[in-house]
Amino acid sequence: MPETAAAPALPVIYQTTIGAEWVDFNGHLRDGHYMVLFSSAVDALMDLAGLNDAGRKATGHSWFTLEAHVNYLHEVKQGAAVEVRLLVLGLDAKRLHVCMSLHPEGQTEVMAVSEQMLLNVDMAGPRATPFVPAVAAYLQPLAAQHAPLPRPAQVGRVMALPQPK
């Protein structure tokens, strides 16, 4: 997700350093740990939106991931300081469609991209339910700000082998 003078910098929602326990025998981040990074970024986004531990207890709401896709673009090595940036692709009463990109801290290079569909859930059911007003009030301006931004090439892709002719 390139950032240009015309496009605002996307918000950084999560930062970490890649530890030894996350890398494989080649010294690269294990594929499953990319998803752990993006999952941690969703947790951070929930905190920013008001669904931290206290917010979840007060509202009885949480988010479930309905679908997630990860595109691995560049190697991530042990000790790398990385950050996850957020692009809101869509929002309705109960769902949040996001694209998150993994970058070396403070740099524009994109190392991985995750597209996710998140669902707001009332844990008493559990059942899908609209976002509480305070959470919606946080998400709606982000969605509006991000709506005119270009979508990364990885968004909406379908994985398939080419069809024989």
Determine the pLDDT at residue 9: 78
What is the sign, positive or negative, of the torsion defined by CA atoms of 127, 136, 112, 79?
negative
Cα–Cα distances in angstroms (integers) from residue 151 to residues 35, 41, 100, 108, 118, in the given order = 20, 19, 11, 16, 18
Domains and CATH numbers, the chain: 12-146 (3.10.129.10)
Determine the pLDDT at residue 6: 41
Determine the pLDDT at residue 158: 87
Using left for φ > 0, alpha for ψ between -120 and 50, and beta otherwise, residue 60 falls in: left
| pTM given for the model | 0.91
Nearest to 69 by CA among 164, 163, 158: 158
Which parts of the chain register pLDDT below 70? 1-8
* Residues contacting residue 135 through CB under 8 Å, at least 6 positions apart: 49, 50, 51, 55, 59, 61, 120
Determine the pLDDT at residue 8: 55
Distance CA(77)–CA(27), nearest Å, equals 6
Helix/strand/coil for 133? helix
